[in-house]
Amino acid sequence: MNWSWWLETWDRQQELLLPDREERFSFMFDLVEAVVGRPRALLDVAGGPGSITLRLRQRFPDVRVTLIDVDPSLLAIATGVMGSDSNVRVVRADLADLNWAAALSAGGYDAAITANSLHWLEEAGLRRVYGDLAKLVRPGGVLCNADPMPPEGIDRLIAALEEQGEHRHASAPEGELDWGSWWKAAAGDPVLGSLVAERNRRFGGEIHPPDFTPPLRWHEEALLAAGFREAGCVWRRGAAAASTPETQGLSLLALSEKKRGSLPSRSGGRR
């Protein structure tokens, strides 16, 4: 089984939707390093087949990364690619379960990173997950969530950008898999097929549940209420409101916040 091929083609189809996905990952890692220094333990939340985990291991050679996701097919890919790396732990957990974090260590992570995922949760679930993440991240640590978080009051600009995005990202180049054809290929694979079927039962099909993409203000309030000390947008590309596949390329947002408690000093506590 060529696990790397599955991860690489996953990356390609995600880049069709998010052309500057790589830049966004790099920015999140810069952010983590700026806040906590060299991280020791990181959480990749809803990390799918492990794109972020792999890049974190390349960037921070000593870091331990725990990847959690509910999708058995994507987790099989992550395990296939990184299962022999003793600094990577792959955990199957459903963020919709109240006790999804039971197998994780409270306060044990310098940072939690998540990208293009939490809009799959419904409102109450996302609010609760923010509370759980506030407990998992150590004081002084950071949560970084890159997901569509539309600004308010610029509806016409958003509509114009979204329309342009739809034209720009309408179809995959010749020979490349897009989101739909990637899942079809995985469903037809002798090893992944049954896992994809299991995944489709969880999500009700290859398309995920309706998006919940409230404005940035909602996230800021929910994060502060969850116990983070600061919450806000630290990086934005475009202004799109929705996260339909065609428009995600324009709705690039990163969110950063520092958990309550004092930040370690630059000279001493950073690591």
Instruction: Classify residue 54 as exposed, middle or buried by CB count within 10 Å of its CB (0-12, 13-18, 19+).
Output: buried
Binding part of the chain for ligand SAM, among 53-61, 109-117, 130-138, 190-198 by CB under 6 A, reads: 109-117
Task: Considering the complex, state which of residue 179 and residue 218 has its C-beta at the smaller distance from ligand SAM.
Answer: 179
* Residue 117 touches ligand SAM, criterion: CB under 6 A: yes
Residues numbered 149 to 178 that lie near ligand SAM (CB under 6 A) are none
Mapped onto helix, strand or coil, the DSSP state of residue 99 is coil
Shortest distance, CB of residue 172 to ligand SAM, whole angstroms? 16
Please state the closest distance from residue 196 (CB atom) to ligand SAM, in A: 11
Query: E-assigned strands of the chain?
Result: 41-45, 64-69, 88-92, 109-115, 137-146, 232-237, 252-258
Which position among 42, 46, 192, 239 is part of the footprint of ligand SAM (CB under 6 A)? Answer: 46
> Residue from 29, 120, 130, 212 that binds ligand SAM (CB under 6 A)?
120
Of 110 and 114, CB closest to ligand SAM: 114
Rounded CA-CA distance 231/218 in Å is: 11
Rg of the chain over all Cα atoms, to the nearest angstrom: 18
Distance separating alpha carbons of residues 107 and 60, to the nearest angstrom:
20
Which residue carries 């799109």 as its tokens?
A: 240
Quick check: helix, strand or coil at residue 145?
strand
Region of 79 on the Ramachandran plot (φ > 0 left; ψ -120 to 50 alpha; else beta):
alpha
The residue (of 70 and 76) whose beta carbon lies closer to ligand SAM is 70
In whole angstroms, the minimum distance from the beta carbon of 116 to ligand SAM comes to 5
Element (H, E) at 180: helix 179-187
Q: Which of 7, 31, 67, 115 binds ligand SAM (CB under 6 A)?
A: 115
The reply on whether position 249 binds ligand SAM by CB under 6 A is: no
Tell me if 96 contacts ligand SAM by CB under 6 A: yes
Q: Select the span of 69-77, 167-175, 189-197, 221-229 touching ligand SAM (CB under 6 A).
A: 69-77
The site for ligand SAM (CB under 6 A) is made up of: 14, 46-48, 51-52, 69-71, 74, 94-96, 115-117, 120
